[in-house]
Amino acid sequence: MINFCDTAAAKEIAKAGTVAIGAAAKAAPILASIPTVPGLSAPRVIDVARELGFEIFNRGDIETARVRKLLVAARSCDKLLNHLSSGTLVITAADRSDAILASALVAQRGMPLAGFVLTCGGRPAPEVSAILASPPLNRLPVLLTNDDTYITATRLSGLSKHISEDDLDGMESVIAFMADKIDVAPLVRRIDLPGDALMPPPVFRHRLVATARIVPQRIVLPEGDEPRTVRAAAICAEKGIARCVLLGSPTRSTRSQPLMASNCRPASKSSIRTRSATPTSRRWSRFASTRA
């Protein structure tokens, strides 16, 4: 198993199938080539607070929000907005109310930011705190530190990439990702053991996906302008599981794509099609909802 590959190298290694080790007469089979995916090691905001000793000013979704990008808000607001994306942790001085409010506005419009780290030992102004305390902005974690912005950014950039022992979702994501890349057939043939019907969930999902790839089917998904539906369709297309047809407004479905997780690559237009919902499809959708 070869780890820490870039994506292009991982594909070439997997295509080779074997690798020569030293002066061995026979090449060893490659069970998996695991590419490096930064999103898999994205820490939760609670992990950041614990490791660096930050004060928690507002918890929000601190146990589930993940830090995929660090952004030092040192420029004017108009230069800041284009750099805010899913999973961004905004680092700024506590008295920069303009940067805090500009980021909060983007979050209020639907961008899932990771939260704020407010530096220089201050707290947000009472008026700003009142805005951050109102839904849906109260879901944004806010951390405080006495360090200045430069030191804070330096400490955050050196944060450990290890997954915390209580981060079960993170562990599950890594295990599922690796299971999707591992080909156990060479190992099974070598040890000559019968296959076991019992298997852990990641292996079961891997085999299920592999079977679906052999004969990809067309799947019609209602509520095609819902961001979670669009993201699910993109994952199906990316993995080659199925050809998805989304029922809904094509314009709304297109606007939902920026809200997909940052580690989900955009699917090709030939893999996902969007169709406007007809009265018949709406009736079937309502019928399926009531049956569920």
What integer pLDDT is reported at residue 262 of this predicted model?
Answer: 38
Mean pLDDT across the chain, nearest whole number?
81
Mean pLDDT to the nearest integer, 67-90: 93
What integer pLDDT is reported at residue 253 of this predicted model?
Answer: 53
Between these two residues, 245 and 253, which has the higher pLDDT value?
245
User: How far apart (Å, rounded) are the C-alpha atoms in residues 108 and 140?
Assistant: 10
Residues of the chain with CATH 3.40.1390.20: 44-157
Between these two residues, 108 and 26, which has the higher pLDDT value?
108
What integer pLDDT is reported at residue 62 of this predicted model?
Answer: 97
pLDDT at 276 over 50: yes
User: How far apart (Å, rounded) are the C-alpha atoms in residues 44 and 61?
Assistant: 9
Residues of the chain with CATH 3.40.50.10950: 216-292
Domain 216-292 sits in CATH 3.40.50.10950: yes
pLDDT at 263 over 50: no
Q: Report if pTM > 0.75.
A: no
What integer pLDDT is reported at residue 13 of this predicted model?
Answer: 73
pLDDT at 130 over 60: yes
Which contacts of 168-173 are long-range, i.e. CB under 8 A and separated by 24 or more positions? 169/64, 170/40, 170/42, 170/44, 172/202, 173/40
What integer pLDDT is reported at residue 131 of this predicted model?
Answer: 95
What is the CATH topology of the domain spanning 44-157?
Answer: 3.40.1390
- Retrieve residue 21's tokens: 């080790």
Mean pLDDT to the nearest integer, 144-155: 96
Between these two residues, 1 and 211, which has the higher pLDDT value?
211
Between these two residues, 284 and 70, which has the higher pLDDT value?
70
Looking up tokens 């102004």, which residue turns up?
A: 125
Share of the chain above pLDDT 70, in %: 78
Kindly indicate the confidence band of residue 191, based on its pLDDT and cuts at 50, 70 and 90. low
State the maximum Cα–Cα separation within the chain, in Å, rounded to a whole number.
73
What integer pLDDT is reported at residue 247 of this predicted model?
Answer: 85
pLDDT at 101 over 80: yes
What integer pLDDT is reported at residue 24 of this predicted model?
Answer: 61
- Sign (positive/negative) of CA torsion 147, 55, 50, 36? negative
Nearest to 169 by CA among 244, 238, 241, 66: 66
